[in-house]
Structure 1
Amino acid sequence: MPSLLTLVLLPFSWLYATVMAVRNGLYATGIKPSTSFAEVPVINVGNLRVGGTGKTPHVAWLVNWLLAQGQRPAMLSRGYGRRTQGYRLASAADTAATIGDEPLQQWRHFQGSVPVAVCEDRTAGIRQLLRDAPATSTLVLDDAYQHRRVQPSFNILLTEQARPFYQDFVLPAGRLRERRAGARRADLVVVTKCEPTLSEAKRQEMTRCIRRYARPTTAVLFSTYEYGAPVPLAANAPAEGKEIVLLTGIAQPAPLREFLETAGYRIVQHARFSDHHTFSVAELEAVAAQLQPGQSVFTTEKDAARLREPALAAVVARLPLFYLPIHVRFLADGAVRLPELLMPYFQPHAVV
């Protein structure tokens, strides 16, 4: 049952949804052109909803799979939250301020071996990235589902188990960027952040709900998160303790909290900030002042990208600060079905 506030805001949502529907219609009819790229397959990973649905770890899973097939992938993102503009190819000199926290996280995750670029105009960005990295055999777009000027070869739509798009409303009454019918553009829908024990009956029920808006033949897969061992940000950090202060600037920290508590950690404090938050020295000093002997500070890999800003280096070096890597695991036969869906887009390459 929608809340009273949702009901009050629905007329504004209808207006916004109409504007977006007209825009999508212009692209669907060709009045507004979309560019496709014959040079390489372009795979887009995006969502209908504002906020974290798990794009970054799913992009990482996809890039790892492409590398295992002998492909030479490159990544392109808008670079949300950066203080620069235009096209920029990531390098060792970049920070979250110059390319955004998620592109920086990806560049560090793959240790610079996979080209990562940012550009608001994805069409121009793709063209420049293919010039800068001519060996690229596959291009992965991060969060370009509403960027209709590019026609991807394969469109992956993510939606969370706890907040599926078919139960949400368009902004401002809800968190959707466009109407639920936008799911029809998806070649694949992945339900993310699932309970690891999600039953087959529940998966079938969610699949039926998704296919009310997506195409009837659209594949629906389910994934969950697995967390890796804590990684220290400072080389001289002590071993992590079981009492922790949690420091986050992400949209949905609840799954991380649940994992930590299940793993036996006691969260004595949660310093929670908004998604993509730019941490300050004063905020980190405040966290440090509340630490008791033997306690550690835990954060996410995405937050760690922003905590590596040069201005924060001195205070970070003094903190027992750790991040937890996230890995995607597909439920049921998802890890087999996804490659089957993607393989027709690629020519075989020898693994180097």
Structure 2
Amino acid sequence: MILLRKILFPFAVLYDFITSVRNFLYDKGFLKSYSFSVPTIVVGNLSVGGTGKTPQIEYLIRLLSNQYRIASLSRGYKRNSKGFVLADNTTTPEILGDEPYQFYRKFPNIQVAVDAQRKNGIEQLLSQQEKPEVILLDDAFQHRKVKAGLYILLTAYDDLFCDDYILPTGNLRESRSGSHRADIIIVTKCPPNISEAKQEEIRKKINHWVKSETPIFFTFIEYDDYCYSETEKISFSDFQIVDKLIVAGIAKPEPFFRYLQAAKKSTMVFPDHHEFSEKDIALILETANGKKIVTTEKDFVRLKGKLPSEQLYYLPIKSSFVTSSNQFDKKILEYVGTSTGNC
């Protein structure tokens, strides 16, 4: 695989040229970007996935939803619907996509919408009788047609964008120089006990690519104290001693498996955003052989109703800051408060 990526290096150079020209045309105004009076916050990345966008969006929802009417707008990756869709009580994960459906299921007091064309999606949200006061744009860092008010760029601790290269040789959707558009950088999935010296080492590497005033924060994945089914919850400590099968269809499942201290024989791995077929379900049930099945929250919304409810559990996660969470919160609240006031 590494050899193949090296062989494909000329295509990476071509892809880099194409994306750089596109960004240049937007930067210079030859291609038009549209801005909106409502505060808009982008959470995105330069890489193809696995940086933890979903828990970071959920962090912002928790931070803002008590004060403002919030809407999240996503592309709705791998959904079987087209155009703009606003979630309601008839919506399914197949119509909305797994991550947006997770937002809808978890935060019923916010608006959750999907539209591949973010400009149209924002216009549709603002045409609702109950207009959102803040819009969170999920995975829209490369969506230059919309000019957001605040850009949050995520990069994973063990896969920093500054150490990577553009597709197909590396995993970047655009050049590392695209990070200069970010207003905030968050290094995600850090060890909870990451040292200040290691943080400073990473800051120096990232600072080479971003604006000098761009703050850099560090977060880690925090796991819930309970595993949940549709009808009950079991403390994680009790769940640890239960014989179980662990199923994951996410970009980088290894940390999830490690946290559950899973032996390889007790795990099943599927591609990210996998649509579980009847054959997959039969294989999971056969492998589980009556044992409890634990999965990620994102996978749970796709497996719910396909596996026995008394057998299927999920372990929620959230994004937590190593330090300086107050500084991050203040920056977000100041942007939203100022923008809302200007509106």
Q: Classify the TM-score, shorter chain.
A: over 0.9
Shift of 1:58: 0.3
Q: Check the 8 A contact 2:65/2:110 in 1, yes or no.
A: no
Q: Check the 8 A contact 1:76/1:141 in 2, yes or no.
A: yes
Shift of 1:318: 5.8
Counterpart amino acid of residue 145 in structure 1: F
Alignment of 1:1-352 (within 5 A): 3-38=2-37, 40-68=38-66, 70-110=67-107, 112-132=108-128, 134-235=130-231, 240=239, 242-261=242-261, 268-292=265-289, 295-308=291-304, 313=305, 315-317=306-308, 320-333=311-324, 335-347=325-337
Q: 1:290 to 1:319 in 2, by over 3 A?
A: farther
Q: Check the 8 A contact 2:74/2:137 in 1, yes or no.
A: yes
Question: Which secondary structure does the structure 2 equivalent of 1:274 belong to?
Answer: coil
Q: 1:267 to 1:322 in 2, by over 3 A?
A: farther
Unaligned runs of 5+ in 1: none
Counterpart amino acid of residue 207 in structure 2: R
Counterpart amino acid of residue 149 in structure 1: K
Question: Which secondary structure does the structure 1 equivalent of 2:127 belong to?
Answer: helix
Unaligned runs of 5+ in 2: none
| Residues in 2 aligned to 1:125 and 1:116: alpha-carbon distance in whole angstroms | 11
Question: Which secondary structure does the structure 2 equivalent of 1:346 belong to?
Answer: helix
| Per-residue Cα deviation, 1:73-125 (whole angstroms, up to 9, x for no partner) | 11100101101110000112111210100000010011x21000000110010
Q: Check the 8 A contact 2:47/2:171 in 1, yes or no.
A: yes
Q: 1:222 to 1:318 in 2, by over 3 A?
A: closer
TM-score by length of 1: 0.90
Q: Check the 8 A contact 1:233/1:322 in 2, yes or no.
A: yes
| Per-residue Cα deviation, 1:164-211 (whole angstroms, up to 9, x for no partner) | 001111111111000000000000010001100111011011111111
Counterpart amino acid of residue 259 in structure 2: F
Shift of 1:3: 4.6
TM-score by length of 2: 0.92
Counterpart amino acid of residue 254 in structure 1: E
Counterpart amino acid of residue 99 in structure 1: L
Q: Check the 8 A contact 2:72/2:112 in 1, yes or no.
A: yes
Shift of 1:232: 3.6
Question: Which secondary structure does the structure 2 equivalent of 1:173 belong to?
Answer: coil
Question: Which secondary structure does the structure 1 equivalent of 2:102 belong to?
Answer: helix
Q: How many residues align?
A: 335
Shift of 1:343: 2.6
| Residues in 1 aligned to 2:263 and 2:6: alpha-carbon distance in whole angstroms | 39
**Which range moved further: 212-221 or 240-249?**
240-249
| Residues in 2 aligned to 1:196 and 1:257: alpha-carbon distance in whole angstroms | 17
Give me the CA root mean square deviation. Answer: 2.0
Shift of 1:134: 3.1
Q: Check the 8 A contact 1:234/1:317 in 2, yes or no.
A: no
Question: Which secondary structure does the structure 2 equivalent of 1:174 belong to?
Answer: coil
| Residues in 2 aligned to 1:8 and 1:291: alpha-carbon distance in whole angstroms | 41
Question: Which secondary structure does the structure 2 equivalent of 1:210 belong to?
Answer: helix
Q: 1:72 to 1:171 in 2, by over 3 A?
A: same
Question: Percent identity over the alignment?
Answer: 38
Counterpart amino acid of residue 278 in structure 1: E
